Amino acid sequence: MLPMPAGGRAPAPLPLTMRAVLILSFLLAATLSQKMFSGDQVLRIKAKDEKQLQLLRDLEDSEDLKVDFWHAPARPSLPVDMRVPFSNLKSVKNYLNSSGISYTIMIEDVQVLLDEERKGMTASRRLERSTSSFRYNSYHTLEEFSTGNKTRPAIWIDTGIHAREWITQATGVWTAMKIATDYGEEPVLTDVLNHMDIFLEVVTNPDGFAYTHSMNRLWRKNRAINPNSTCKGVDPNRNWRSGFGGAGSSNNPCSETYHGPFPHSEPEVASIANFIQKHKHFKVLISIHSYSQMLLYPYGYRKEPTHDNEELDNLARDAVEALSQVHGTEYVYGRTISTIYVANGITIDWAYEHDVKYSFTFELRDTGIYGFLLPASQIIPTAEETWPAILTIMKHARDNPY
Ligand SMILES: [Zn+2]
């Protein structure tokens, strides 16, 4: 503490230069911490035909426009969502207009949503500190999560392999709580756990997730250093040795879907792959993403259905039905390639090809109001409705050993 000046007078105002330095360092601290998205918009486009889709794909290759696809161009029936930095809004909108591509504004100002999200996190953290209770209806940072382990028929669930899909890690934490509290109480889960082990990895992309908290909320990949490029990060969900490197992933380290230098080059992927292969008894793999409200099964990289297509399709239908009964949320389901898009090197294709028959990807809420910035008030409803769908898949695996 500083000694009080004699007479208790208020301290003299700081000299102007000192104040300037303080203001400057404050600004510097602000710019060094969080990337700002003030004025950035997310545009939603329904392309009319393949030609328009190609024009949109060309946008991704134009690195100076810095368009960030939240939903990449896939097929005319599916919307394309893209975040456009404020500084390039005019050019991108001109490009769309001159190409005859119509769009709507899905998010007017990305920063407004980010500010709300941050405000909610701060308030929730304060409350948790004062009540020493974890709040499931708020987004949290890395340090608050953990995992577990064992050897019987097993179920793998991962959330957060894409860093910015925060609803998934939050759903993962709630699911862990649900499993722990329902065991011994709820008969289906209790019976599943008496026969099988559940492995839940909540923060599957830890450095990417940390980066979404510290620097850039909308970061998707991990933070791998790419030799010979200034761009960082590999998409861990394009890095699996299953159709690795084909169309539906990129060989450009600056792309959001960069597949990495070789299959399983990324520790996030290699560690899961090694664990599953060593364990040898995984029957279920559920990899949770957002957003779109879809339940997907293999393949993403090849057109031919799997040998188990009918069974997987029926199971997906039952799971989606169970999900919709909770809050009325509608999901579509089907093979990745025909339901969403061609995707190579993805988790569930690899798992299926390594004898994990019941391999599914969830794309959680929503269908494109908030996209990756789903309000925290939707965490619990999302987790609640996802749970019976997960349980449906687990129960089916228990009843149909192979
Ligand atoms: Zn994802």
81-95, 111-125, 148-162 — which one is most confidently predicted on average?
81-95
Please name every residue paired with 159 in a beta bridge, in sequence order, or none if there are none: 288
Q: Looking at residue 31, what is its pLDDT?
A: 47
CA of 372 to the centre of ligand 1 (A): 10
Asked whether the bond before 291 is cis by omega within 30 degrees of 0, the reply is yes
pLDDT tens-digit profile of 349-375?
999 999 999 999 999 999 999 999 999
Q: Looking at residue 141, what is its pLDDT?
A: 47
pLDDT at 396 exceeding the cut of 60: yes
Please name every residue paired with 157 in a beta bridge, in sequence order, or none if there are none: 200, 286
Q: Looking at residue 64, what is its pLDDT?
A: 86
133's tokens: 């209770």
Poorest-pLDDT segment among 8-12, 260-264, 308-312: 8-12
Backbone angles phi, psi at 305, to 5 degrees: -65, 160
Give, for 346, the enclosing helix (H) or strand (E): none
CA of 24 to the centre of ligand 1 (A): 38
Q: Looking at residue 142, what is its pLDDT?
A: 39
Q: Looking at residue 148, what is its pLDDT?
A: 43
Mean pLDDT for 35-50 is 96
Q: Looking at residue 18, what is its pLDDT?
A: 52
Please name every residue paired with 282 in a beta bridge, in sequence order, or none if there are none: 154
pLDDT tens-digit profile of 156-166?
999 999 999 99
Return the number of other C-beta atoms located less than 10 Å from residue 296's C-beta: 29
CA of 233 to the centre of ligand 1 (A): 14
CA of 398 to the centre of ligand 1 (A): 27
Average pLDDT, the chain: 89
Give, for 43, the enclosing helix (H) or strand (E): strand 41-45
CA-CA distance, 38 to 26, in Å (whole number)?
18
Mean pLDDT for 54-58 is 92
Q: Which residue matches tokens 């918009």?
A: 41
| 8 A C-beta contact, residue 257 and residue 276 | no
CA-CA distance, 15 to 143, in Å (whole number)?
42
pLDDT at 334 exceeding the cut of 60: yes
CA of 369 to the centre of ligand 1 (A): 17
Mean pLDDT for 227-255 is 94
DSSP E strand boundaries for 263-368: 282-290, 294-297, 332-335, 358-364
Q: Looking at residue 145, what is its pLDDT?
A: 34
CA-CA distance, 361 to 334, in Å (whole number)?
10
Residues forming the active site: 363
CA of 348 to the centre of ligand 1 (A): 12
Asked whether the bond before 299 is cis by omega within 30 degrees of 0, the reply is yes
pLDDT at 146 exceeding the cut of 50: no
The CA-to-CA distance between both ends of the chain, in Å, stands at 70
115's tokens: 């500010």
Is the pLDDT higher at 268 or at 141? 268
pLDDT at 136 exceeding the cut of 90: no
pLDDT at 215 exceeding the cut of 70: yes
| 8 A C-beta contact, residue 279 and residue 330 | no
CA-CA distance, 188 to 391, in Å (whole number)?
8
Q: Looking at residue 20, what is its pLDDT?
A: 54
CA of 162 to the centre of ligand 1 (A): 5
Q: Quick one: pLDDT band at residue 126, thresholds 50, 70, 90? A: confident
Of 101, 61, 107, nearest to 84 (Cα)? 107
Q: Looking at residue 63, what is its pLDDT?
A: 79
Mean pLDDT for 19-44 is 70
Mean pLDDT for 89-103 is 96
- Distances from the Cα of 296 to the Cα of 42, 109, 187, 225, angstroms: 25, 31, 27, 31
CA of 171 to the centre of ligand 1 (A): 14
pLDDT at 45 exceeding the cut of 80: yes
pLDDT at 387 exceeding the cut of 90: yes
CA of 287 to the centre of ligand 1 (A): 9
Q: Quick one: pLDDT band at residue 62, thresholds 50, 70, 90? A: confident
Task: Tell me which residues have their CB within 5 A of the ion that is ligand 1.
Answer: 162, 289
Q: Which residue matches tokens 């292969």?
A: 277
- DSSP codes, 71-88: E----TTS-EEEEE-GGG
pLDDT at 147 exceeding the cut of 50: no
Q: Quick one: pLDDT band at residue 32, thresholds 50, 70, 90? A: low
Q: Looking at residue 140, what is its pLDDT?
A: 55
- Polymer length of the chain: 402
CA of 384 to the centre of ligand 1 (A): 20
CA-CA distance, 41 to 62, in Å (whole number)?
18
CA of 235 to the centre of ligand 1 (A): 9
Non-local (6+) Cβ contacts of 314 within 8 A are none
Buried b (16+ CB within 10 A) or exposed e, 357-375: bbbbbbbbbbbbebbbbbb
Q: Quick one: pLDDT band at residue 131, thresholds 50, 70, 90? A: low
311's tokens: 């069974």
CA of 361 to the centre of ligand 1 (A): 9
- Distances from the Cα of 259 to the Cα of 49, 192, 198, 246, 389, angstroms: 27, 35, 28, 9, 30
DSSP E strand boundaries for 103-180: 103-107, 154-159
| 8 A C-beta contact, residue 292 and residue 167 | no
CA of 395 to the centre of ligand 1 (A): 25
CA-CA distance, 84 to 81, in Å (whole number)?
10
Q: Looking at residue 7, what is its pLDDT?
A: 40
- How many CA atoms, within 13 angstroms, populate the side-chain half-sphere of residue 310? 0
| 8 A C-beta contact, residue 154 and residue 282 | yes
Q: Which residue matches tokens 């159709």?
A: 243
CA of 363 to the centre of ligand 1 (A): 7
Q: Quick one: pLDDT band at residue 19, thresholds 50, 70, 90? A: low
pLDDT tens-digit profile of 285-314?
999 999 999 999 999 999 999 999 999 999
Q: Looking at residue 294, what is its pLDDT?
A: 98
Could you tell me what percent of the chain has a pLDDT over 70?
88
pLDDT at 24 exceeding the cut of 70: no
Backbone angles phi, psi at 283, to 5 degrees: -115, -25
Its pTM stands at: 0.87
- How many CA atoms, within 13 angstroms, populate the side-chain half-sphere of residue 355? 11
